[in-house]
Amino acid sequence: MMTKEEIFNAKVGSLEMYGALFNIVAKEDGLDKALKMHAAVGVPEGDKMGKALKEYLAGKKINLTDLNKFMTSSMSGSGLSPEIKEGSKSLTLRFEKCPMYEGLQKAGLDHKTIQKMCAVMSKAEYNAINKYYPELEGKVRFRESAKGSCVEEFIIK
């Protein structure tokens, strides 16, 4: 069985290859088209998360305690180790290390482009999740620099 670090590193390598492809598409067809195509990748990811959360809750109403347990379990299995804090109406995940950021950076993408990629992908994912849970709002505060951390927040409206 792979350790969290091995899983994380494998994801970084995969995302480095994905970033190289993104660079080619952006050069051939323009950044806007590449971002649109990248955002489309977020739809099945969000759908997968929405379905998994629905299965996990097994008919229960969405709540922060169960959302926290779900996120902790799913993040652990994917090599991520965010700091998770439960607020009164929100769950906040702080990522010091991100395989997407590291992989895309290794592929030669700059901070600003990675930020745009994160924004369009996150929006697509949250829109897909909202088909299952319209009362759940997601948002990301992108890292200010390569050495910073990203913060993802899920709010139950």
- The DSSP element (H or E) to which 27 belongs, if any, is helix 4-29
- Collect all residues with Cβ–Cβ distance below 8 Å to 91 and sequence separation of at least 6: 64, 67, 68, 71, 84, 85, 153, 154
pTM metric for this prediction: 0.92
Specify whether the CB–CB gap between 14 and 103 falls below 8 A: yes
Edge-first strand listing for the sheet containing 83-86: 83-86, 90-95, 150-156, 136-141
Q: Give me the CATH code for the 4-156 domain, please.
A: 3.30.1380.20
Q: What does the alpha-carbon distance between residue 101 and residue 75 come to, in Å, rounded to a whole number?
A: 16
User: DSSP label at 144?
Assistant: S
**pLDDT (tens digit, 0 to 9) for every residue of the chain, 157 residues total?**
888 899 999 999 999 999 999 999 999 999 999 999 999 999 999 999 999 999 999 999 999 999 999 999 888 777 788 999 999 999 999 999 999 999 999 999 999 999 999 999 999 999 999 999 999 999 999 999 999 999 999 999 9
